[in-house]
Amino acid sequence: MGPMDGIRNIVILTGAGISAESGIDTFRGGGGQSGLGLWEQHRVEDVATPEAFARDPNLVLRFYDMRRAAVQEKLPNPAHDALARLDAKWKGGLLIVTQNVDDLHERSGASRVLHMHGEHLNAWCTWCDTRSRWTGPLVERPPCPVCGACALRPDVVWFGEMPYRMDEIYAALRSADLFVSIGTSGAVYPAAGFVQTARDLGVRTLELNLERSQGSEWFHETRLGPASEVVPAWVDEMLG
Ligand code: APR
């Protein structure tokens, strides 16, 4: 009996590290194209808070317009592809909870994906509270396709805002047999706390990351290496 025997329900948390080898910058530390974390090039409080949006909406909209354009040029890497393979073949419950706002899990074919921090390719109308798929810029204040109000903002969860669908995530953790964290620094709550919740619930925990993260000691097991290598290897193991 290996440690992965008897596993039925799996919750996978992904972070910026899984998209780094697709050329999307991570937020903290190396990875991505420039080797600089995104938050080292921009102050978080200037672009990723509701206060920043109220103070200088053009700056914030332009920042997200650039990011939205950039992700559409990127392609999924072998780590996304491996998770899509697991999603297609895994007979038990599977949920990919991603902190990422790119759509690389979906583009590699994964179907069970929950975006807890929102999505670059959605615009949220703050007037009629609907979300519309959005691939172009927002800085010109285009009208909402549903109500016509010029009140669209990026559908991205900013610091100080509540992540999406937390009830569903905790419900999935309660019925999980295995929690796997991939490519996240464990710096941002509530996602950083999922491993502790899982431990409290008696769920087995595994971390796949380039380097040890802030929460590494909480995991039963940590496997270090680039996501494009360690994720396909783990998926092969799971699928036998
Ligand atoms: N393979 C695996 N892991 C990698 C790779 C790689 N090729 N490159 C980098 N990493 C790891 C880094 O070592 C780091 O631990 O990915 C992690 C990225 O951490 P962050 O940049 O902090 O990204 P993330 O954890 O997703 O950030 C969480 O913070 O700013 C907010 O809302 C934003 O969703 C984001 C949240």
DSSP 196-220: HHHHHTT-EEEEEESS--TTGGGSS
CA 190 / ligand 1 centre spacing (Å): 15
Q: Whose Cα sits closest to atom 4 in ligand 1? A: 17
Write the pLDDT tens digit of every residue in 76-113: 999 999 999 999 999 999 999 999 999 999 999 999 99
**Domains of the chain (ranges plus CATH)?**
1-24+76-117+163-240 (3.40.50.1220), 29-73+120-156 (3.30.1600.10)
Q: Given a cut of 60, is residue 34 above it in pLDDT? A: no
Yes or no: say if 7 and 178 are a contact pair by the CB < 8 Å rule.
yes
CA 30 / ligand 1 centre spacing (Å): 9
User: Rounded mean pLDDT of 20-24?
Assistant: 95
Write the pLDDT tens digit of every residue in 126-171: 999 999 999 999 999 999 999 999 999 999 999 999 999 999 999 9
CA 129 / ligand 1 centre spacing (Å): 30
Give the ligand 1 atom nearest the CA of 191: 28
**Neighbour-count burial for 118-143, b at 16+ CB within 10 Å, e otherwise:** bbbbbbbbeeeeeeeebeeebbeeee
User: Rounded mean pLDDT of 28-47?
Assistant: 66
Residue to mutate, 188, 212, 219, ligand 1, most ligand atoms under 8 Å from C-beta: 188
Q: Given a cut of 60, is residue 220 above it in pLDDT? A: yes
